Chain A
Amino acid sequence: MIDYIMSLVIMLAYIYLMSKVINQKINYRNPKAIAAMVLAIIFLVDLDFLDGNSLLVSLIHLAVYAVVTKFIFENKWPKHLLVNFICFLLFGIIDSLIGLFMLKVLGFPFEELTSNKILGLITGVIAFFLIAIMTNIKFITNIIVNSIESLHIERSKLLLYLSAFILSLCAVIIYSTYYSVGHFITIVLMLIIVITFFGLFVMLIQEKNTLVKKEMENEMLVKNLKEYEELLEKNLISNHENKNSLLVIKGMLPKNNKKAKEYIDLLINERYADDEALLYKTSKFPIGGLQGLVYQKILSMKSKNIDFHLEMGKGISKESFKNITSSTNYDICTIVGILLDNSIEAVEKLEKRNISIYTYISGGNFNISISNNFAGDLDIEKIDEEGYSTKGKNRGFGLYIVKNVLNKNPNLNLTREINGDVFKQILTIKL
């Protein structure tokens, strides 16, 4: 009985620690979570067949805790496993410190500590209280939470680490039990290793393919945009020439042909004036590729009846951008392209459709502000998470890519604001 109480206390302490680390409340009303906890406690108490192999016992505890807490917190696997690993280490440190205190300060013999179940229960309860005190000190929780945030690992790398970890775990299990279990169990374990390895291998390949494909697409995009910009410049000249030609034709028309004259005026005053103004404004973008990208996105906005506003702040000269490297240039185009696509998608189904692009220099930095109106339920603080999207499955990777680009490039920074029903994202580029 004591074994079960001890196991329950330790598990509750662990769950409490994790809830504090990930700042998520424990959902006790989830029947799956309760069932998982009960089964886990029964399983963990009955680990006698391992014959005191402490490393193996610890690894099994980690795996079981990861499964149970998955049911409780329902977070995504890669980050969940990472947090579990950190919590397990923290828990191990606390447990070891209590053990050392009892051994050296209180003078309990080592054998007594490892075999006396009452002492084990007391250790568990002390660990619980220590965790409760520690995690309610904001300074300590901030350190832990910030450490986890800084451990940002790309999904593919995380899968690689996890596959290595799982294979090591399986190897330890086989090593520990090779002589004590029959051939059948050994073969089953081997089979599990092979299947696990194969599954992870396929996932890694898929992940790698997606990333390579995306990178190739982005590179092609920038290359095409530069070609497109050259075409735009030619278009600006031919636009001007066409306008002059139309004026000449208008002058040649007989006085009574009012309809033709009105039509020419309409073309000159609306279509050509509109295109010229847009071409002229976007040509002021000082970064290669950005002009073509923004022009193309604005054309897309026009075709979707989105009201847009492009505002270029004063004092922006190409000279200020001479220190911008080609890789930063590429990163800027990637981010701006994704932000504009998201803005277009956010407004295109709304009744009110507004997007503004506003560039300005502030504090020696170049800023590109992209704003759109929005409506509906949006947990804006989660939008950087991989796969988070209000648009359905297999979406939500754009801002995750943006986050990765920002993590790699210290010259770029993205800030976000909500101003009423306007969502504003400001990309700041160090000059």
Chain B
Amino acid sequence: MVNFVVCDDNKEFLKILVNIIDKEMMKNKISYKCHEFTEYNTSFFNLVKQKMTSRIYILDIEVNLVSGIDVARKIREKDFDSIIIFVTSHEDLGYTILKNEFMFLSFISKFDDFEGKLRNVIRKAIDIVGQKKLMRFESNGIVYTIPYKDILYITRDSVERKSVIYTDYSIFKVNKSLLELKKLLSDQFRYSHRSCIVNLDRVVKTNFSKKEITFDNGMATDLVTVKYRKEVENR
């Protein structure tokens, strides 16, 4: 069951939000429940603390002078798996970074094709809710939260004794073994070599004779051996 947690201080707007959720959820067979709030009060935070699967938060960015960002931070202190969607009444380009910082799914303006955009985001949220979407670990005092979709492959640097995570935007060198990292990953990640784990969702071409795996962003790795062919090809 999907749990929608909706909060907006404007009761009329709250009704509109719940109505849009109902309309969208009628179309599929997934059972759901809406938890409605008009303020970020104790019962709201008690609900945040509860163990509940498949949660989608749809929150107003500012409710009675309480910052939605503060609320999001508190939610993320408890879990990184729930989905957070913010509705705002003002455009702010700076929100882009907050979206990545707190792993929000989306910011939706209340004025610009609100219903259409919210229904799209709900569909997207339903597709991914309940799935583990990211890898979170600590290495040398730094907490890493990396979405699976951003990872291309992970190798082992035997000289520096570090694992190297290749993503779309950066290369992270961390003090974790490949085995430790593999445990944090989902089934889409497989060994292609004893010192390389690849994200099969990002692989576009595998050539065992040329020893090359190519990813959807054009990057490639030669860390591939026939021994792991089954691992890579059998999904």
Using a CB–CB distance below 8 Å, which chain A residues touch chain B?
A: 23-25, 27, 307-314, 352, 354-356, 358, 360, 362, 371-381, 415-422, 424
Contact = CB atoms under 8 A, between A and B. Distances in A.
Contacts of B175: 23, 381
B146 interface: yes
A417 B170 contact: no
B96 A307 contact: yes
B161 interface: yes
B160 interface: yes
Interface in B63-113: 65-67, 69-70, 73, 92-98, 100-103
9 contacts: A23-B161, A356-B97, A372-B97, A378-B172, A379-B173, A380-B172, A380-B173, A381-B139, A415-B143
Given A23-B161, A378-B171, 4 more contacts: A311-B98, A376-B170, A417-B145, A419-B101
Contact of B67 (A311, A379, A424): A311
B69 A358 contact: yes
A415 B140 CA distance: 11
Q: How large is the interface on B (under 10, 10 to 19, 20 to 34, 35 or more residues)?
A: 35 or more
A312 B70 CA distance: 9
A307 B97 contact: yes
Interface of B: 65-67, 69-70, 73, 92-98, 100-103, 139-147, 150, 158-161, 167-175
Contacts of A380: 142, 172-173
B137 to A, nearest CB: 10
A172 to B, nearest CB: 37
B83 to A, nearest CB: 15
> Which residue, B139, B146, B170, B174, has most C-beta atoms of chain A within 10 A?
B170
Contacts of B101: 356, 371, 419, 422, 424
A309 B98 contact: yes
> Which residue, B93, B142, B158, B167, has most C-beta atoms of chain A within 10 A?
B142
Contacts of B141: 415-416
A343 to B, nearest CB: 10
Given A371-B97, A419-B100, A420-B145, A381 B170 contact: no
